[in-house]
A = this chain, B = another copy of it.
Amino acid sequence: MAFWDLATLPLAEFRPGIHSAALSGDNLIMVCMEIGPEQEDTGHAHAFDQCGMVLAGEIEMFSGQERRLLAAGHCYFIPAGERHGWKTFAAPARLLDVTPKQPPR
């Protein structure tokens, strides 16, 4: 079993504005991600589901026709193929996010 304590988990820069840590096995990738203030993904889609939970901060997410402001304790499930994106505001947002490791072809 691999294990994280989120209170002390070190994150490393994944790309500008996003720090993360990841665990993966044969089928799943679990990522703890901190997205800095005023960051945005204007939208993308992929052929696999994505799900997770907001741990801290606020993030606006859209998927398909739905748009929501998510905060700590809110969970999301983005179905395979649905165009989705996100936006942060003045404070960073921290997420726990899970995707399949080997999306079906």
When chains A and B are docked, how far (Å) is the Cα of A87 from the Cα of B73? 24
Task: Indicate whether A91 reaches chain B with its CB closer than 8 angstroms.
Answer: no
CB 8 Å contact bits of A75-105 with B (1 = contact, 0 = none): 1111110101000000000001011111110
Q: Does the CB pair B100–A28 fall under 8 Å?
A: yes
When chains A and B are docked, how far (Å) is the Cα of A32 from the Cα of B30? 16
Q: Does the CB pair B7–A84 fall under 8 Å?
A: no
Q: Does the CB pair B1–A23 fall under 8 Å?
A: no
**So how many copies of this chain end up in the complex?**
2
When chains A and B are docked, how far (Å) is the Cα of A3 from the Cα of B70? 9
Q: Does the CB pair A5–B68 fall under 8 Å?
A: no
Other-chain contact of A23, B51, B100, B102 (Cβ < 8 Å): B51
Q: Does the CB pair A96–B79 fall under 8 Å?
A: no
Task: Indicate whether A10 reaches chain B with its CB closer than 8 angstroms.
Answer: no
Q: Does the CB pair A6–B80 fall under 8 Å?
A: no
Other-chain contact of A61, B1, B28, B103 (Cβ < 8 Å): B1
Which residues on the B side are within 8 Å of A102 (C-beta)?
104
